[in-house]
Amino acid sequence: MDKLPDKYNPADFESDIYNSWLEKGYFHSEVSAKKKPYSIVIPPPNVTGYLHVGHALNNSLQDILIRYARMKGFAACWFPGTDHAGIATQNVVEKELNKNGITRFTLGREKFIEKVWEWRSRYGSGIISQLKALGCSCDWERLRFTFDDDYVKSVNHEFVTLYNDGLIYRGNYMVNWCPRCLTAVSDIEVEHKEKKGNLWDIKYPLIVEETGLPSKTEFITVSTTRPETMLGDTAVAVNPSDKRYKKYLGRKVFLPLVDRLIPIIEDDYVDKDFGTGAVKVTPAHDPNDFEMGQRHNLNKINVMTDDAVMNENAGRYKGLERYEARKKVLEDLESLGYLGSKKDHISSVGMCSRCDTVIEPRISLQWFVSMKALAEPAIKAVQEGRVKFVPKKWEKLYYNWMENIRDWCISRQLWWGHRIPVWYCTKCSEMIVTESLPKVCKCGSTGFRQDEDVLDTWFSSNLWPFAVMRWPQKTAELDYFFPTSVLITGHDIIFFWVARMIMMSLYFMKEVPFKEVFISPLVTDIHGRKMSKSKGNVIDPMSIIDKNGADVLRFTLASLTSPGKNMLLGEDKIEGSRNFANKLWNASKFVTANIQGVNVIETDPKTLTLNPWDKWILSKFAKTVKSLEKYLEKYSISFACKCLTDFFWNDYCDWYIESAKSRIYEKKYNDDKDGGSAATEFGNTDKAKDRQAAQFVLWYVLERYLKILHPFMPFITEKIWQSIPHEGESIIIAKFPEIKSRILDKTDNVVENELLKIFNLISEIRKIRSELKINPAVRVKVYLNPADILFEKNVKDNAGYIKDLAKLQEIVIGRPADNKGFIKSIKDENEIFVYILDAIDIELELNRINNEIRKIIQEKDKSSAKLENPQFLDKAPKDIINKEKSKLSQALKIIESLQEQLSLLQSIK
């Protein structure tokens, strides 16, 4: 056994313990006919990534479940891996090249890909190292990367199969386009930001039917935030219910600047309360306009190049960047008399999440997956309960997305990614869709060029639950570990990843990919604000690990994980977990120091005489194990943590250890009629046997408690477990405690109820001592008038414990002859009289309390004055105002408490 150092310093042992686990292969799990499988696939972090708080939370929760399953006897396998993260990784490498004045186009595709691989080999393992520092017990022998050869084969097989089955097609459709990255991007890669801008009114002259010329007096005015796109207008739309424009139906308008005649159409999409109620329709540059264009068979005129520069369709504005064109268009409209009013307008603008460039919706030739047929069985799987969402409320979001699903654009104009497995014959241009390079075209040519596009990263990651097991190969691990047990992820990717995994798994595997989806909460700062670098409220999990250890970070995050609620993370929460770790360390040192020389492992419990305090703590532990398992099954992680801390801090440390001290140290008490030392309680006069029972139970409960805490705090539990008597190599592979019917592992409500009133009695006396600030070293005299004979006997039997834990000189059964000098309290219908005249100087205490009240009143008045000041309320930040309100509320509570003490002392005086 290793001796515990005096102080808890996780930096001294966490990495050594993790390396020992790795060396001994404890994380690896093989296919076993003797065990049931339990598997989790890690949401693969980007290869460009670093550990942020969301990662730390998500992976801590996964590790809790996988360690728990391992200890419960399952073949527990946590499949790890990283995602190639197409656009993110390409951007990172491009930025590095740009520092030296190099672009990817300068290098060419092949050389650029080499540079990306170089970057990946140098930096791509950073997130893995950080996950290990967190304590993640992934099966690292099964580490996968979405660019592994086997994985590439899986992705190619997926594409070709879907194409041959008629579910993949190519066409010109509206996409989110990044003019800087020069690629289509997915919805999740578009961040919508509220931006101040303008709403311009532009007058479109109606065409005079008799002359076919633009009217000089009759106009229809449209409202737009992007006047430069009017160059691609092919209609003006109004709402069918808008009576203002009924007279214009069937007529055409003159499109200024490009001299085009366009129709006025009716469409329900138009909001008649927005602007003028008439909108310009630009099908090639707006997704909603595109849909209207489809419905009304409108032309689609693209007026911009890939990099958002006006093209030949923009006429005289060709060559102008989009915002330069906007400025010029407005100037020309004004000079021609077509520009109306301009209003301030706040709109949601889509930005590329990778480069912060404003997204330009545009029509582009892309590859798409037809989603309707794939979505139907995936909806049914959740409806039938084959996949369960926790919390259940997220099912509504899932159904909403799935029932309104659109076809998925899966092609990206990047160089880093899975190349689309489509080839074109260089001789006859025949398109061939196949998993690998064709050998010969039907025309006899052997020359081919591959499609330039790559696949959306989500297209490859939606195979993750089975591709990590080398599908489409028929592997033993795929047959054994699939479907996986649970997926833990955030709500923001329910559609982009979770739903698509369900769809593809049902299509290719004819089975759901996981049985449950636990949606972890969003981590916010202590004020409920989303963490961001600009707000300066980002918490770096690695800095927490460096300062406090991985266990403290893990337990903090786990204790704040309530299903369906955002997590408020602040320094006070971290400090609370650090205090708990210190408490565990110090209590364990007490136990190890006091079981020296006792062979607890070979002790036969049947030979021990357990007193009610022993039976009580064993019963409380049994209930803790049962509750913990119930909470873990329901993913009520915060309740599981509270269950663990309440038992150890309150039951084990505050009550049982304190009571055991009197038995171990053979404490002496005054020889009162109401009882002797705790060592002679319950008729047990053999002090040696009583001490042995206390020592055994102290060890027995601690050793088993370390096991149930291990999934949450793996390092400290391993370190302590190795320092106390134990059986086995490591706590990580130890058996999770089972609750049976024998005396050590069963609940005992009778004993618990007996001692509960004793605890209430002690707590009430402690409360009085605390309120009156009686010196802990001063023992007081107490009279007790019990409500019934049973409690009286219980008190007499436990008199030694009561005197020790409540710091009493003596406890007398009955009422005092004279109440002078006594403070009276009632608990559980039992009258308690505490004599305090010998314990405190009442006059001195009265002066102290009065001075304290005056001091707090001054603080209260300051806060009240601020909160009554209109200038303070108008100008001060909201968090400062809330802080002042909190100070006022706290001051009022303190004053009320002090006044109660004052009244109490005055009544005695």
**In angstroms, what CA-CA distances link 657 with 289, 587, 661?**
73, 8, 6
Nearest partner of 551 among 413, 700, 718, 663, judged by Cα: 718
Q: How confident is the model at residue 533 (pLDDT cuts 50, 70, 90)?
A: low
What residues have CB less than 8 Å from 852, skipping those under 6 apart?
Answer: 898
Pairing between β-strand 235-238 and β-strand 260-266 as defined by DSSP bridges:
parallel
User: Where does the pLDDT of residue 672 fall: very low under 50, low under 70, confident under 90, or very high at 90 and above?
Assistant: very low
Which of 293-297, 675-679, 769-773 is the least confident region? 675-679
Between CA 139 and CA 477 the distance in angstroms is 13
Contacts of 51 (CB under 8 A, 6+ apart): 127, 130, 131, 133, 134, 541, 542
Answer whether residue 678 shows pLDDT above 60: no
pLDDT, mean of residues 725-734: 96
The H-assigned helical ranges of 731-776 are 749-771
Residue-wise burial string across 488-511, b where 16 or more C-beta atoms lie within 10 A, e elsewhere: bbbbebbbbbbbbbbbbbbbbbee
The token pair at 281 is: 């329709």
- Alpha-carbon distance 594 to 172, whole Å? 78
Mean pLDDT on 300-318: 94
Q: Determine how β-strand 780-785 pairs with β-strand 808-813.
A: parallel
Using a pLDDT cut of 90, give the percent of the chain over it: 68
Q: How far apart are CA 742 and CA 675, in angstroms?
A: 31
Residue 469 vs residues 46, 201, 358, 506, 515: alpha-carbon distances, Å:
19, 58, 39, 16, 17
- With tokens 């260089």, the residue in question is 426
CA distances in angstroms from 185 to 58, 323, 373, 656, 856, listed in the order given? 26, 21, 23, 61, 59
> How much is the pLDDT for 534?
54
AA letter at 6: D
Order of all β-strands in the sheet with 431-433: 431-433, 422-425, 448-450
Mean pLDDT on 336-361 = 89
Q: Which residue has the tokens 């006047």?
A: 227
pLDDT score for 726: 94
Nearest to 523 by CA among 486, 556, 572, 487: 556
Bin 807: left if φ > 0, else alpha if -120 < ψ < 50, else beta.
Answer: left
Average pLDDT of 47-58?
87
Q: Which of 153-167, 594-608, 890-904 is the least confident region?
A: 890-904
The pLDDT of residue 850 is 87
- For residue range 696-723, what is the model confidence (pLDDT) as tens digits? 999 999 999 999 999 999 999 999 999 9
- Cβ atoms of 595 and 660 within 8 Å: the answer is no
525 pLDDT more than 80: no
User: 240: pLDDT confidence band, cut at 50, 70 and 90?
Assistant: very high
Average pLDDT for 804-813: 92
Say yes or no to pLDDT of 897 above 80.
no
Q: What is the pLDDT of residue 53?
A: 87
- CA 817 vs CA 438, 679, 711, 820: distances in Å: 106, 32, 57, 9
What gap in Å lies between CA 146 and CA 148, rounded to an integer? 6
pLDDT band at 808 (very low <50, low <70, confident <90, very high): very high
Nearest-angstrom CA–CA distance, 772 and 36: 59
Beta-bridge partner residues of 432: 423
Of the candidates 195, 231, 198, 199, which has an alpha carbon nearest to the alpha carbon of residue 320?
Answer: 231
pLDDT for residue 7 is more than 50:
yes
**Three-class SS state of 896:** helix
User: What secondary structure does DSSP assign to 580-639, as a single string?
Assistant: HHHHHHHHHHHHHHHSTT--TTT--GGG----HHHHHHHHHHHHHHHHHHHHHHTT-HHH
Q: For residue 668, what pLDDT band results from cuts at 50, 70 and 90?
A: very low
pLDDT in tens, 252-266: 999 999 989 999 999
pLDDT at residue 729, as a whole number: 95
At 812-848, the pLDDT tens digits run 999 988 878 888 888 888 899 988 888 777 777 788 8
Position 673 scores a pLDDT of 40
Q: Could you tell me the sign of the dihedral formed by the alpha carbons of 220, 226, 232, 234, in that order? A: negative
> CB–CB of 242/200 below 8 Å?
no
Question: Mean pLDDT, the chain, as a whole number?
Answer: 90
End-to-end CA distance of the chain: 58
pLDDT tens, 116-161? 999 998 888 889 999 999 999 999 999 999 999 999 999 999 999 9
Helix (H, G, I), strand (E, B) or coil at 575: helix
